[in-house]
Amino acid sequence: MKGDESSARESDGTPLHERSCPSCAGAIDKLDEPSRARLQAQLGDSWAVVDGHHLHRSFEHPDFRAALAHAVRIGEVADREHHHPDLLVAWGRLEVSIYTHAVDGLTEADYVLAAKIDLLDESSRPRDEPFQMDA
């Protein structure tokens, strides 16, 4: 999306998690700082903006298997949205970085995906139950 289209979409009041990731097929621009700030306010403090370039969040898990299972669930959401984060799976930890590779920076799609990942985390399981991989 170019400038005004992105601003119109941001201000239409639709929650981020209810939007679809905009396609990277057309000409899109990186978000400017005011646009990033508006979207970050909707996203909340769980995601950090790193160097104005990407979103980052860490998740803690009881073991490697739980972190891997969470990564798989995020991958399913990412595939549906046609927007794929960088994932680092380690024992007891999952690191997620999101940016739009086509523009080497942040676009609305990154915030939409982050909100959907947050929704997945919130709706998944009670906090004291680990993620389980299907057999």
At residue 135, the pLDDT reads 46
At residue 8 the predicted structure's pLDDT band, cuts being 50, 70 and 90, is very low
pTM for the model = 0.75
> What number is the average pLDDT over the span 17-40?
76
Q: What is the mean pLDDT of residues 52-70?
A: 94
Residue 68 CA to residue 74 CA, distance in Å, equals 10
115 token code pair: 């909100």
Residue 110 or 19, more confident = 110
Structure-block tokens of residue 52: 């104005």
Q: Which helix (H) or strand (E) holds 54?
A: strand 54-60
* Three-class SS state of 116: helix
Of 71, 77, 56, residue with least CA distance to 119: 77
Using pLDDT thresholds of 50, 70 and 90, give the confidence band for residue 96.
very high
State the DSSP H helix or E strand holding residue 90, giving kind and residue range, or none if neither: strand 86-90
What is the C-alpha to C-alpha distance for residues 94 and 90, in angstroms, rounded to an integer?
Answer: 6
Residue 24: burial class (beta carbons within 10 Å; 0-12, 13-18, 19+): middle
Specify the pLDDT at position 29: 84
Q: What is the per-residue pLDDT for 114?
A: 96
How does the average pLDDT of the chain come out, rounded? 80
Question: Which domains occur in the chain, in start order?
Answer: 3-124 (3.30.1360.20)
